[in-house]
Chains A and B, each alone.
Chain A
Amino acid sequence: MKNKLLTALLSLFTVLAAQAQSSDVEMADTMRSEGKIYVVVGIILIVLVGLIVYLLLIDRKVTRLEKQLSDRQR
């Protein structure tokens, strides 16, 4: 039983290794595939995240102002 499992695993690895060798050298190609649309997605996400972080910072600044004000009102 154990042997069978071992041979099964071994054959799986050989198949995987063969596949990896047969295709062209795979690098981090996601950003270069399909007309480079992922680059655009990345750019849009940077803008979106940037604006949201900015909003978050303004939010925190207002919270700080509110605290300062309530301290002074006492």
Chain B
Amino acid sequence: MKNWVKILGICLLLYVHTAGLLAEVPRLNILNETIRALYFHVPMWFGMTFLFTMSVYYAILYLRNPSPELDRKVLEYANVGTVFGVLGILTGMLWANYTWGSPWHGDPKQNGAAIALLVYLAYFVLRGSLDNQEQRARLSAVYNIFAFAAMVPLIFVIPRMTSSMHPGSGGNPGFNVYELDYRMRMVFYPAVAGWILIGLWITNVRIRLKNVEEAIIELEDEK
């Protein structure tokens, strides 16, 4: 991973955490200052979706041309993606407690996100339950594609077909009012880009660590 990518990610996040708290935001009832949570809660989901997309991309590559390196990539992208997803759920619960009235509101998008995370947790359970390395890699790559295919409708389609309290679904205008607000875009888009870059960096470190681990095991086997 190139150094300038890391520096860009750091600079974007430093800007987002300063401007996100200090810049002007629209004044709306109920939301009040919590509107700023948009800069920190939503990028977690963008980051998760991006990392899961990378994971399924490498899963397909693995099935076309199997190699242990690709399997490690599939695993680590799913790993870091899940961390982002858990952070998204937790920040969402805190936000919901003060704007919707309770941390778990049974909102379709909230439920969908939780189910999607459980589907991905099953991916790790599946991996843990198989000893043979090739079998584990192949079966979990197939399951990874299924998990991705389940996540997309659970988070992006079903909540929009029913009435969700999340903005932009079921005729709920919510964010449409201020998503058009250029002041918020100036912080929101850098936030998404910054967190995606940091997510890529963490994944990069984890993959390299896993590669070193595997190489050491191989060295010891040779002895």
Contacts and interface: CB of A to CB of B under 8 A. Distances in A.
A binds B: yes
A4 B54 CA distance: 68
A62 interface: yes
A69 B215 contact: yes
B208 A45 contact: no
The 9 closest A-B pairs by CB, nearest first: A65-B212, A62-B208, A41-B21, A59-B205, A62-B209, A44-B17, A69-B215, A48-B17, A52-B10
Interface of A: 37-38, 40-41, 44-45, 48-49, 52, 55-56, 58-59, 62-63, 65-66, 69, 72-73
Nearest to A64: B212
A30 B215 CA distance: 53
15 contacts: A37-B21, A38-B22, A40-B21, A41-B21, A45-B17, A45-B18, A48-B14, A49-B14, A52-B13, A52-B198, A55-B198, A56-B6, A59-B6, A69-B212, A69-B216
A66 B201 CA distance: 17
Chain B interface main SS type: helix
A63 B3 CA distance: 13
Interface of B: 6, 10, 13-14, 17-18, 21-22, 198, 201-202, 205, 208-209, 211-212, 215-216, 219
Contacts of B209: 62, 65
A41 B208 contact: no
B199 to A, nearest CB: 11
SS class of chain A's interface: helix, strand, loop or mixed? helix
Contact of A62 (B212, B215, B219): B212
A10 B83 CA distance: 62
Contacts of A66: 208, 211-212
B174 to A, nearest CB: 25
A58 B212 contact: no
A73 B212 contact: no
A37 B212 contact: no
B21 A44 contact: yes
